[in-house]
């Protein structure tokens, strides 16, 4: 009861002052992590969330599945025509480099095994655009930069899932298995997960889209039906022996592909549900994961946190964008605004349940500190950074190298988790060489 009361009061209190907090550059995730931490046993001991309890496990799994589905649905790749190369490079080349650099950092700075180092690197490779929402809502920031960050954060959490799945299984395995076992394990996890996601997402999306066009679908009923696809994909993959989270993500991609504009409308309630679950997750994270990690901070872990949020992210992103003509300030902007947030917290909670390790394990201590520091520094720097970069771009836009045309239609930016923003934000900048 105490834990439920904390969650309810946190939601009510933040809702009452959310507008005022935005003006102070205090984000929702900052508030909810702080509430979770302050009410935990390490401070006021008002409530305690048990990471081993079925309720917390179900919350974390449901939140991750819904968020993965929503992230996949809200990315409309057709609107990236003129600058698809940027997010493609960041995801196709930059993401593996980030995982590799993170693995080396955790292996030699924190002195962890290769499997545990790679697990941390994979968990922290996912970014959360909600923590830097001011960047995505500032129309003075070139639309291809905003769009690239939006697409990257929407897709990278799903793309790192196979790595998180593999390395968490390696860490949990105490007896050791052959290479053929792990190859088969990963193939089944990915293969059956993808299969379940495609079948559920495409079939459900096509049925709902056709029914909606014929006028058979009424308001919230259609949106509830879209939400049910998350559960169907999750359960189908579980029954087949595949990864349920991969299935949820692929179902979102398939749903968007066949549903087009109808998919965005039908997934509104799913987005809202994901936002609620995300809010609750941040409270649980601050209470049950960050609380025990506070007094576990060591110098190597502190160094690894700083490196994870700077060099480990920024250098690979810069390398992946070589040859695009983008200038150093743009490369730094794209590299810096890759905050670690909800996806990393959810990965950590689900991995903790799968491995049975304590919350004070170095893996979770590193993740907890990295996420909390990112929540604060990225949330606080988003508005200032967006404004500063926009002014720099305005002064230096003349004479930039040309790139393929983006077209002239406005870019629809769906809501970001935790953001109080309009569903459609029209960018004022049509130039395809934004920020180059």
Helix (H, G, I), strand (E, B) or coil at 407: coil
Contact between 49 and 263 under an 8 Å Cβ cutoff? The reply is no
pLDDT of residue 189: 94
- Please state the pTM of the whole predicted model: 0.88
Per-residue pLDDT tens over the stretch 338-379 = 999 999 999 999 999 888 889 999 999 999 999 999 999 999
Q: How far apart are CA 378 and CA 348, in angstroms?
A: 20
Per-residue pLDDT tens over the stretch 101-142 = 999 999 999 999 999 999 999 999 999 988 888 898 889 999
Assign 77 a pLDDT band (cuts: 50, 70, 90): low
Per-residue pLDDT tens over the stretch 270-328 = 999 999 999 999 999 999 999 999 999 999 999 999 999 999 999 999 999 999 989 99
Assign 430 a pLDDT band (cuts: 50, 70, 90): very low
Q: Looking at the predicted structure, is the pLDDT value of residue 401 above 50?
A: no
Token pair 């110098």 is found at 299
Contact between 152 and 91 under an 8 Å Cβ cutoff? The reply is yes
**Residue whose C-alpha is closest to residue 104's, from 298, 358, 289, 316:** 316
Stated length of the chain: 436
**Residue whose C-alpha is closest to residue 345's, from 391, 257, 282:** 282
Q: How far apart are CA 189 and CA 197, in angstroms?
A: 12
pLDDT of residue 125: 97
Alpha-carbon separation of residue 328 from 226, 285, 435, 436 (angstroms): 42, 35, 10, 9
pLDDT of residue 80: 64
Q: Looking at the predicted structure, is the pLDDT value of residue 404 above 50?
A: no
Q: Give 124's DSSP letter.
A: T
Per-residue pLDDT tens over the stretch 206-226 = 999 889 888 898 888 999 999
Q: What is the CATH number of domain 27-396?
A: 1.20.1530.20
Q: Looking at the predicted structure, is the pLDDT value of residue 399 above 50?
A: no
CA angle at 219 for the pair 157 and 262, rounded to the nearest 5°: 50
pLDDT of residue 39: 95
What does the DSSP assignment read for 340-401?
--HHHHHHHHHHHHHH---TTSHHHHHHHHHHHHHHHHHHHHHHHHHHHHHHHHHHH-TTPP
- How much of the chain exceeds pLDDT 70, in percent? 89
Mean pLDDT, the chain, integer: 87
Q: How far apart are CA 216 and CA 256, in angstroms?
A: 20
pLDDT of residue 24: 83
* Segments making up each domain of the chain, as ranges: 27-396
Per-residue pLDDT tens over the stretch 93-105 = 999 999 999 999 9
Q: How far apart are CA 261 and CA 271, in angstroms?
A: 15
pLDDT of residue 214: 87
pLDDT of residue 75: 79
């Amino acid at each position: 009861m105490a834990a439920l009361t904390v969650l309810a009061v946190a939601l009510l209190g933040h809702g009452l002052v959310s507008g005022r907090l935005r003006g102070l550059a205090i984000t929702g995730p900052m508030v909810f992590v702080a509430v979770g931490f302050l009410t935990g046993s390490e401070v006021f001991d008002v409530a305690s969330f048990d990471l081993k309890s079925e309720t917390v496990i179900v919350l974390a799994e449901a939140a991750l599945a819904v968020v993965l589905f929503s992230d996949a649905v809200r990315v409309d790749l057709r609107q990236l025509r003129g600058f698809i190369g940027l997010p493609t490079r960041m995801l196709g080349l930059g993401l593996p480099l980030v995982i590799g650099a993170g693995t080396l950092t955790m292996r030699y700075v924190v002195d962890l095994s290769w499997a545990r180092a790679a697990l941390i690197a994979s968990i922290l490779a996912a970014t959360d655009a909600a923590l830097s929402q001011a960047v995505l809502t500032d129309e003075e920031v070139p639309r291809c930069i905003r769009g690239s960050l939006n697409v990257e954060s929407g897709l990278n959490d799903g793309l790192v899932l196979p790595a998180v799945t593999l390395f968490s299984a390696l860490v949990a395995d105490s007896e050791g298995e052959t290479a053929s076992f792990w190859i088969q394990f990963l193939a089944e996890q990915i293969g059956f997960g993808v299969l379940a996601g495609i079948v559920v997402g495409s079939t459900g999306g096509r049925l709902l889209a056709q029914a909606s066009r014929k006028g058979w679908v009424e308001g919230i009923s259609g949106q509830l039906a879209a939400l049910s696809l998350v559960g169907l994909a999750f359960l189908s993959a579980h029954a087949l022996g595949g990864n349920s989270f991969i299935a949820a993500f692929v179902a979102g991609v398939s749903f968007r592909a066949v549903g087009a504009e109808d998919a965005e409308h039908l997934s509104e309630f799913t987005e809202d549900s994901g936002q609620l679950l995300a809010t609750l997750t941040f409270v649980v994270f601050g209470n049950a994961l960050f609380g025990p990690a506070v007094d576990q901070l060591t110098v190597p872990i502190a160094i690894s946190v700083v490196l994870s949020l700077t060099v480990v992210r920024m250098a690979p992103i810069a390398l992946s964008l070589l040859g695009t003509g983008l200038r150093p300030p743009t490369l730094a902007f794209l590299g810096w605004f890759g905050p670690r947030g909800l996806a990393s917290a959810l990965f950590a909670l689900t991995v903790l349940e799968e491995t049975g390790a304590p919350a004070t394990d170095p893996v979770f201590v590193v993740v907890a500190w990295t996420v909390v520091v990112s929540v604060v520094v990225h949330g606080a720097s988003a508005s200032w950074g967006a404004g500063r970069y926009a002014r720099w771009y305005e002064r230096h836009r003349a004479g930039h190298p040309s790139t393929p045309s983006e077209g002239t239609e406005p870019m629809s930016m769906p809501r970001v988790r935790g953001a109080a923003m309009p569903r459609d934000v029209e960018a004022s900048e049509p130039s395809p060489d934004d920020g180059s």
